[in-house]
Amino acid sequence: MFDELSDLYQEVILDHSRSPRNFHKMEGANHTAKGHNPLCGDEITLYLLMDENDVIQDVSFEGAGCAISKASASLLTSALKGKSKQEVKELFDKVHAMVTNGETDSEEMGKLAVFAGVHKFPARVKCAILPWHAVIAAMEGEKQEVTTE
Amino acid sequence: MLTETDRAAHLQTTLGSAELRQDFPILDQEIRGNPLIYLDNAATTQKPRSVLKAIRDYYENDNSNVHRGIHALSQRATEAYEGARERAAAFINASRSEEIVFTRGTTEGINLVAQSWGRVNLKPGDKILLTEMEHHSNIVPWQLLAEQIGVELVYLPITGEDGMLDLNRLDEFLSRDVKVFAMTHISNTLGTINPVAWLCQRARRQGIVTVVDAAQSAGHSPLDVQAIGCDFLAFSGHKMCAPTGIGVLYGRKDLLEAMPPYQGGGEMILSVDFHKTTFKRPPLKFEAGTPNIAGAIGLKAAMDYIDTLGREAIFEHDCDLGRYAYQQFSQLDGIRLYGPVQERAGLLSFLLTDVHAHDLVTATDQKGLALRGGHHCNQPLMRKLGIESTARVSGYFYNTRKEIDQAVEIVNAVQRFFSG
Ligand SMILES: Cc1ncc(COP(=O)(O)O)c(C=O)c1O
């Protein structure tokens, strides 16, 4: 009944939204940021543990959200462990391009490629990108809450 | 040929009919191969041909600036604009058209009251009473004022998920420090219909100035400012078949007379010196700059259209849709409904246990069903209810029970999709 919808809500996304990975507060986190989507009032908090070389050792999140933002946060936490600040920034740009215009190199994006379908649903791009904004803000050590606006 | 009265009688019995829907060309379209089911009327309503025609006629025949031209077009435009003001006065039973200020909408009306009336009539330590179910546009203007002049906001609570005001506690909240009580007539999230006449009566007994947010009632139910007994009342044209960018602020004459201007500019002055200006009397004093003339004309046509159908009949039809929606949606598993069970307006907020409101609305859109998902500009209320957002179905006189049935079916299919 919902053919087009399956492009957006791929099995991986549904799975991660139902049982998000790394979904908890991190006690020893040294970087953290909140992401806020004013459209729906949803809020997620991202926790990072970064070593002295700015490499992510551990990452987790908590909060409420739609299936897209939850799955995006969950897959992000799985993708970022072991990445340097510079690598995360480069990945952010690629994810951003992918969810806004559908361009993706699935080899390189790995599981994150499931979000390519989001670009056909412009109203939902913000949901997918929200956790990524929060990661960048956390790495930069910005204290302020980031929003999708 | 039907006479106007025959047509009116006929349409009243056929709210929601295919014939009436022909007045709304936008409704006749498909979204991704499915007929559009427009149930987002609390956000904005669709516009009938007669409103579109009035605006077009104005631009094709009479377009000109108002109040300052001597030529024929300007006189016609002025007459039409002032005619719309008289129509609006009659629509809400204001005793004079001078009590009708044209605004951009409800939001601007409330800001005007807060900034113009509030700034000169309130002093530090005074309290402003609101309710917990207010739209942001009846909270934020008062918060801005509170920051500027040091007044305090207090909120009359709701009782719970059934979304009724806790009227037993009203006396406790109508304390001596309260100087103004601003309340919504119909809640845009809960569908609650507040007893505004009773509330205003209680407030005025204590000399408290009352402001009614009629955004969700003006197009859906009879509205009589004298029977309500309010001091101010604001509504938006676009939620009652008129275009965006036009609305009405009703203000009691003696209050408007004593208020300073809201904005400065042309149209609102008698004479301007380099250092001193004398202003026109209300309502023009509050309408700085060239107004939304076509909007006012469209609003008049909308009021005419609505009154042809009859507001009593519309109210009955819309409330029936609301009650029916409550009944039908309550039969779904994994759903939680908000707002009153029986006495409700034609809208319904709900949450699904397993599907976020945003995902739901994205999914229903695939089937041509337009719903709203989010906090509906009611964030404080959402927090009070312990939720972030809801999905909302909101009907109007062109909607039908059948569309509610279809909506229930589509929402149920979405539940199945997400539960896998
Ligand atoms: C109860 C209520 N008040 C105020 C408003 C604000 O109306 P507008 O945005 O037209 O100024 C709305 C509409 O969203 C509303 O539902």
Residue by residue, DSSP assigns B185-206 as: SB-TTT-BB--HHHHHHHHHHT
Q: Are B160 and B189 in contact (CB under 8 A)?
A: no
Please check the confidence at residue A146 and state whether its pLDDT lies above 70: no
Number of Cβ within 10 Å of residue B18's Cβ equals 11
Q: Which 3 state secondary structure label does DSSP give B319?
A: helix
Number of Cβ within 10 Å of residue A122's Cβ equals 10
CB contact under 8 A, A65 and B357: no
A44 touches chain B (CB under 8 A): no
Q: Are A94 and A132 in contact (CB under 8 A)?
A: no
B418 touches chain A (CB under 8 A): yes
Under CATH, to which class is B51-308 assigned? alpha beta
Q: Which of B372, B388, B410, B414 to mutate to test the interface with A (most CBs of A within 10 A)?
A: B388
CB contact under 8 A, A127 and B389: no
Of A2, A42, A67, the CB nearest to B388: A42
Query: How many whole angstroms from B235 Cα to the centroid of ligand 1?
Result: 8
> What confidence category does residue B267 fall into, taking pLDDT thresholds of 50, 70 and 90?
confident
Query: How many whole angstroms from B137 Cα to the centroid of ligand 1?
Result: 7
> What confidence category does residue B69 fall into, taking pLDDT thresholds of 50, 70 and 90?
confident
The two tokens of residue B155 are 């909120």
Number of Cβ pairs < 8 A linking chain A and chain B: 57
Please check the confidence at residue B122 and state whether its pLDDT lies above 80: yes
Number of Cβ within 10 Å of residue B329's Cβ equals 20
Q: Residue B301 carries which side chain, given as an amino acid letter?
A: A
> What confidence category does residue B93 fall into, taking pLDDT thresholds of 50, 70 and 90?
very high
Question: How far apart, in whole angstroms, are the C-alpha atoms of residue B174 and residue B168?
Answer: 12
Strand bridging mode B269-272 / B247-251: unpaired
Q: Which residue has a Cα nearest atom 12 of ligand 1?
A: B215
Query: How many whole angstroms from B234 Cα to the centroid of ligand 1?
Result: 9
Q: Which of B362, B367, B419 to mutate to test the interface with A (most CBs of A within 10 A)?
A: B362
Question: How far apart, in whole angstroms, are the C-alpha atoms of residue A142 and residue A46?
Answer: 12
The region that residue A141 occupies, defined by phi over 0 for left and psi between -120 and 50 for alpha, beta otherwise, is left
Task: Name the average pLDDT for chain A.
Answer: 89
Q: Are B161 and B385 in contact (CB under 8 A)?
A: yes
B318 to chain A nearest CA, in Å? 26
* CB-based pocket (< 6 A), ligand 1: B 42, 105-107, 135, 137-138, 184, 188, 213, 215-216, 236, 377
CB contact under 8 A, B357 and A66: yes
B81 to chain A nearest CA, in Å? 37
What ipTM does the predicted assembly reach?
0.88
- Report the residue of chain B nearest A1, measured CA to CA: B413
Which of B217, B236, B241, B246 to probe ligand 1 with, by most ligand atoms within 8 A of CB?
B236
Residue B10: predicted pLDDT? 64
Of B356, B366, B413, the CB nearest to A67: B356
Question: How far apart, in whole angstroms, are the C-alpha atoms of residue A137 and residue A143?
Answer: 8
Mark whether B319 is an active-site residue: no
Number of Cβ within 10 Å of residue A113's Cβ equals 17
A39 touches chain B (CB under 8 A): yes
Q: Are B78 and B287 in contact (CB under 8 A)?
A: no
Question: How far apart, in whole angstroms, are the C-alpha atoms of residue B110 and residue B118?
Answer: 10
At B306-334, the pLDDT tens digits run 999 999 999 999 999 999 999 999 999 99
> What confidence category does residue B2 fall into, taking pLDDT thresholds of 50, 70 and 90?
low
Reported as type and span, the H/E element at residue A59 is strand A56-63
Q: Which residues, at least 6 apart from B106, have a Cβ–Cβ distance to it below 8 Å?
A: B135, B137, B213, B214, B215, B234, B235, B236, B247
Q: Which residues, at least 6 apart from B377, have a Cβ–Cβ distance to it below 8 Å?
A: B135, B136, B137, B188
| N- to C-terminal Cα separation, chain A | 33
Ligand 1 atom at minimal distance to the Cα of residue B187? 1
Mean per-residue pLDDT, A92-103: 93
Number of Cβ within 10 Å of residue B170's Cβ equals 16
Residue B273: predicted pLDDT? 87
- Within 8 A of A73 by CB-CB distance, chain B residues are none
Which of B40, B41, B107, B193 to probe ligand 1 with, by most ligand atoms within 8 A of CB?
B107
Burial of A29 (0-12, 13-18, 19+ CB in 10 A): middle
Please check the confidence at residue B227 and state whether its pLDDT lies above 80: yes
Of A5, A40, A66, the CB nearest to B366: A5
- Report the residue of chain A nearest B378, measured CA to CA: A41
Q: Where are the domains of chain B?
A: 4-44+311-419, 51-308
Q: Pick from A21, A72, A66, A10: which is nearest to A43 by CA?
A: A66
Please check the confidence at residue A77 and state whether its pLDDT lies above 80: yes
Instruction: Evaluate whether B4-44+311-419 and B51-308 have a shared fold.
Output: no
Give the lowest-confidence range in A7-16, A39-48, B234-243, B409-418.
Answer: A39-48
- Within 8 A of A8 by CB-CB distance, chain B residues are 362
Q: Are B251 and B231 in contact (CB under 8 A)?
A: yes
What pairs with residue B349 in β-bridges? B338, B392
Q: Pick from A115, A119, A50: which is nearest to A85 by CA?
A: A50
At A14-35, the pLDDT tens digits run 999 999 999 999 999 999 999 9
CB contact under 8 A, B356 and A14: no
Question: How far apart, in whole angstroms, are the C-alpha atoms of residue B196 and residue A74?
Answer: 48
Q: What's the DSSP call for residue B40?
A: B
Question: How far apart, in whole angstroms, are the C-alpha atoms of residue B155 and residue B275?
Answer: 42
Mean per-residue pLDDT, A79-88: 94
- Within 8 A of B389 by CB-CB distance, chain A residues are 40-42
By percentage, how much of chain B surpasses pLDDT 70?
97
- Within 8 A of A2 by CB-CB distance, chain B residues are 363, 366-367, 413-414, 417
Residue B160: predicted pLDDT? 86
Domains located in chain A, CATH noted: 2-147 (3.90.1010.10)
Query: How many whole angstroms from B128 Cα to the centroid of ligand 1?
Result: 19
B61-77 in b/e burial notation, b at 16+ Cβ within 10 A? ebebbbbeeeeeebebb
Q: Pick from B369, B408, B406, B416: which is nearest to B38 by CA?
A: B369
Instruction: Enter the CATH code of domain B4-44+311-419.
Output: 3.90.1150.10
Please check the confidence at residue A2 and state whether its pLDDT lies above 90: no
Mean per-residue pLDDT, B155-168: 94
CB contact under 8 A, A41 and B375: yes
Residue B4: predicted pLDDT? 65
